[in-house]
């Protein structure tokens, strides 16, 4: 049976915009006030943005107390998305990842409570699409932890994933496909889950907000379209569009990652203002 990842259909779809992490020295003075204590950076960032993607969880296990502190340092309505452990995704056989998946999911992420957003499973650019192995991996992803619904996003980076078979498999398991705006990885706009996850990686130091104003206007339009359940024009797809009858409002998560990283907070703020 396909997995049924729960969605918050009882409330209107939300558009959340943020950055990856919150500790980066060039942000001091440009985003953070010079005299702001480092221990208060998350508190400050979470009141200027609406979401943050945590990357440290990809590299190592965090403690439950750490997740609880992140929860308590941020305001109501703020959301964290977590990059899942690399030990679950950077392996020869994904079908054997159950122990690593369980270790990550049971590491204390439930401490985030309602501030827990999607979990991002990032796969290596050298990992090709193997339908049987990848399907076995998707079947291992849990629907919930301690009564808290879980939603999963797939950050696939090998060109072989740009195929209809992958799109159908992700839809079967109701896992979203990360839309990566980059020249280095596949850029797929196929809607395979009940939410949208975009990683925007083209920020340039030439622009104060990382992107030209028209580019930010265009992204605001795309996020609104996704949120309404529509499919923005002009983005690449690998499979057939989802059936119109299934179109419904979706939560949207957009993060400014890499590129001119020093511009990421300004880009996120500029996009939030447009929305």
Q: What is the pLDDT of residues 228-237, one digit of tens each?
A: 999 998 999 9
Please name the fold of domain 15-274: TIM Barrel (3.20.20)
Q: What percent of the chain shows pLDDT beyond 70?
A: 93
Average pLDDT over residues 52-66: 96
Cα separation, 53 vs 62, whole angstroms: 14
Strand pairing report for 148-149 and 15-20: unpaired
The per-residue pLDDT for 243 is 64
The per-residue pLDDT for 245 is 43
Out of 1-10, 50-59, 190-199, least confident range: 1-10
The number of residues making up the chain comes to 275
Would residue 142 be called left, alpha or beta, if left means φ above 0 and alpha means ψ between -120 and 50 degrees?
A: beta
β-bridge partners, 175: none
The per-residue pLDDT for 259 is 87
Strand order in the sheet with 176-177: 176-177, 152-155, 116-122, 79-83, 51-54, 15-20, 251-256, 195-200, 179-181
Residue 9 reports pLDDT greater than 70: no
- The answer to whether 235 touches 222, Cβ cutoff 8 Å, is yes
Residue 124 reports pLDDT greater than 80: yes
Name the residue among 255, 225, 236 with its Cα closest to residue 81. Answer: 255
Q: What's the pTM value of the predicted model, to 2 decimals?
A: 0.93
Residue 137 reports pLDDT greater than 90: yes
Q: Which pLDDT band, with edges at 50, 70 and 90, does 2 fall under?
A: very low
Query: Comparing 258 with 270, which gets the higher pLDDT?
Result: 270
Residue 11 reports pLDDT greater than 70: no
Q: Which pLDDT band, with edges at 50, 70 and 90, does 13 fall under?
A: confident
- The answer to whether 238 touches 245, Cβ cutoff 8 Å, is no
Query: Comparing 239 with 52, which gets the higher pLDDT?
Result: 52
- Residue 120: CA count within 13 A, CB half-sphere: 28
Cα separation, 10 vs 130, whole angstroms: 36
Query: Comparing 53 with 259, which gets the higher pLDDT?
Result: 53
Cα separation, 251 vs 6, whole angstroms: 12
Out of 104-118, 123-137, 174-188, 239-253, least confident range: 239-253
């Amino acid at each position: 049976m396909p997995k049924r990842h729960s969605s918050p259909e009882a409330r209107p779809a939300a558009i959340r915009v943020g950055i990856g992490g919150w500790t980066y020295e060039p942000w001091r003075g440009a985003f953070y006030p010079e005299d702001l204590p480092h221990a208060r950076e998350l508190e400050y960032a979470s009141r200027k943005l609406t979401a943050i993607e945590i990357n440290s969880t990809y590299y190592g296990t965090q403690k439950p107390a750490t997740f609880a502190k992140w929860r308590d340092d941020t305001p109501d309505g703020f959301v964290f998305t977590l990059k899942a452990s690399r030990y679950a995704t950077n392996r020869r056989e994904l079908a054997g990842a159950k122990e690593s998946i369980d270790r990550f999911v049971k590491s204390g992420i439930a401490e985030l409570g309602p501030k827990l957003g999607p979990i991002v499973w990032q796969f290596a650019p050298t990992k090709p699409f193997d339908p049987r192995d990848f399907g076995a991996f998707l079947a291992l992803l849990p629907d919930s932890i301690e009564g808290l619904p879980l939603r999963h996003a797939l950050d696939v980076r090998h060109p072989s994933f740009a195929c209809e078979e992958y799109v159908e498999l992700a839809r079967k398991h109701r896992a979203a496909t990360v839309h990566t705006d980059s020249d280095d990885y596949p850029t797929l706009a196929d809607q395979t889950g009940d939410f949208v996850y975009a990683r925007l990686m083209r920020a340039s130091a030439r622009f104060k907000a990382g992107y030209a104003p028209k580019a930010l206007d265009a992204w605001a339009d795309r996020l609104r379209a996704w949120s309404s359940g529509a499919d923005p024009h002009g983005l690449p797809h690998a499979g057939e569009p989802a059936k119109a009858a299934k179109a419904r409002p979706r939560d949207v998560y957009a993060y400014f990652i890499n590129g001119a990283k020093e511009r990421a907070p300004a880009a996120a703020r500029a996009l939030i203002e447009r929305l």
